[in-house]
């Protein structure tokens, strides 16, 4: 009887540790683990982490849309529209207002700001437009299948650009320049709401970035640091790559968030200061709260159909797109990494592991590729 009771107590303790404190990474998987560069590269490629193409011919094979074939003229027209506030009701907002190409492809605000200074009513921030054409879904709730369809949303949203399709068409038709360009690019359809967004989408399909990680994947072993390589290994080994995959390192699926909920949750405000409690080398801080997210539920947005289902964010240039998560409640990338490890993977990362993963994420920063499209 005593033996049975002991087994039950041990089983309960293990269960409690796993679900309430987290699990630790085995010693063989800690950041001290070493792996040859060629093995690490092969691991990344085998897991779908591919480099962005250097040439337009190769990039076009990846981003072209059979329903909206890319041409140099269409791309140029889309670029004109992307930067033109003509598509907003008060003529002050363009696509580039919330998706700043020189600054990570977003606007670095907790929530997007539209015409007349209106904030998004759900306190949603702007996902990056860079590499967005590589994603399978668009918007935080994944409601659009591609960048062409996505372009229709902000133009019509009353708190963003505030136009109806008919108003947008009338605005564009009022420009001699655009009438001439549309007659060449879309000789049959002319100016329609669909051709407007097809042109914008065509331009956005060219907005791919390359950086140090791409060079490493292509064989340049000096492109990223040893610390970043350890971070890449951890990223793959602990399970981040399960959702953050593909050439875009994300944007390929919809996932529940948070996947794991705790009575005691991590607080981004705490900055994870140690409270002298340790478990297997992992440090954490406890606060008493009942929140739907491991950060303030500002805006009350709970994903697709309110079911906590979100599009997995693209991680390319992620270190340039703070603040983080759908409502911009987390300011530091280190905090975002800890939250994701804790609430998606059930892991409590120590400072060294977080720093190594962040070092890897920084290698995903990149510059727009200046493709020779003509």
User: To which H or E segment does residue 254 belong?
Assistant: strand 254-256
* Range name among 78-82, 259-263, 292-296 with the lowest pLDDT average: 259-263
> pTM (2 decimals)?
0.86
Map out the domains of the chain as residue ranges. Answer: 19-52+209-367, 56-204
Identify whether the C-beta of residue 128 lies closer than 8 Å to the C-beta of residue 314: yes
pLDDT of 178 above 50: yes
What number is the average pLDDT over the span 126-152? 98
Identify whether the C-beta of residue 268 lies closer than 8 Å to the C-beta of residue 339: yes
pLDDT value of residue 214: 98
**Domain pair 19-52+209-367 / 56-204, same fold:** yes
> Could you give the CA distance from residue 345 to residue 240 in angstroms, rounded to a whole number?
8
What number is the average pLDDT over the span 100-104? 93
pLDDT of 286 above 50: no
What number is the average pLDDT over the span 64-86? 98
What number is the average pLDDT over the span 325-334? 97
Active site residue 218: no
pLDDT of 100 above 50: yes
What number is the average pLDDT over the span 172-180? 97
Mean pLDDT of the chain: 88
What CATH class is the domain 56-204? mainly alpha
Which residue is catalytic, options 38, 39, 61, 160?
A: 160
pLDDT of 275 above 80: no
Q: What is the pLDDT of residues 350-374, one digit of tens each?
A: 999 999 999 999 999 999 999 999 7
What number is the average pLDDT over the span 195-210? 98
All residues at 6 or more sequence positions from 85 whose CB lies less than 8 Å from its CB, including other chains: 91, 92, 93, 94, 97
Identify whether the C-beta of residue 114 lies closer than 8 Å to the C-beta of residue 162: yes
What number is the average pLDDT over the span 323-343? 96
pLDDT value of residue 290: 59
Identify whether the C-beta of residue 327 lies closer than 8 Å to the C-beta of residue 125: yes
Q: What are phi and psi of 327, to 5 degrees?
A: -110, 15
CATH code reported for the domain at 19-52+209-367: 1.10.760.10
């Amino acid at each position: 009887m005593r033996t049975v009771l002991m087994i039950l107590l041990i089983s309960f303790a293990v269960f409690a540790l796993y679900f309430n404190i987290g699990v630790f990474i085995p010693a063989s998987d800690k950041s001290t683990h070493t792996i040859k560069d060629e093995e690490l590269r092969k691991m990344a490629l085998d897991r779908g982490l591919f480099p962005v193409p250097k040439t337009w011919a190769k990039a076009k094979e990846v981003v072209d849309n059979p329903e909206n074939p890319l041409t140099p003229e269409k791309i140029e027209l889309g670029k004109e529209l992307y930067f033109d506030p003509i598509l907003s009701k008060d003529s002050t907002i363009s696509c580039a207002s919330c998706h700043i190409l020189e600054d990570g492809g977003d606007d670095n605000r907790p929530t997007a700001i539209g015409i007349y200074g209106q904030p998004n009513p759900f306190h949603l921030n702007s996902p990056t437009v860079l590499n967005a054409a590589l994603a399978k879904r668009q918007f935080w709730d994944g409601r659009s299948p591609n960048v062409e369809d996505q372009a229709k949303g902000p133009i019509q949203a009353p708190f963003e650009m505030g136009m109806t399709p008919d108003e947008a068409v009338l605005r564009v038709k009022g420009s001699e320049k655009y009438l001439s360009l549309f007659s060449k690019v879309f000789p049959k359809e002319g100016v329609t709401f669909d051709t407007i967004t097809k042109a914008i989408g065509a331009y956005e399909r060219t907005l791919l970035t390359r950086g140090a990680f791409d060079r490493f994947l292509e064989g340049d072993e000096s492109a990223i640091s040893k610390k970043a390589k350890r971070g890449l290994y951890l990223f793959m080994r602990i399970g981040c790559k399960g959702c953050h995959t593909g050439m875009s390192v994300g944007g390929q699926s919809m996932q529940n968030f948070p996947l794991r909920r705790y009575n005691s949750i991590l607080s981004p405000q705490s900055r994870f200061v140690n409270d002298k409690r340790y478990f297997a080398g992992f440090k954490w801080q406890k606060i008493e709260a009942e929140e739907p997210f491991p950060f303030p539920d500002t805006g009350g947005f709970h994903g697709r159909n309110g079911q906590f289902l979100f599009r997995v964010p693209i991680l390319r240039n992620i270190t340039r797109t703070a603040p983080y998560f759908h409502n911009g409640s987390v300011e530091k990338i280190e905090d975002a990494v800890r939250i994701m490890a804790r609430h998606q993977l059930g892991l409590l990362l120590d400072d060294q592991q977080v720093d190594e993963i962040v070092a890897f994420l920084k290698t995903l920063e990149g510059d727009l590729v200046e493709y020779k499209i003509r």
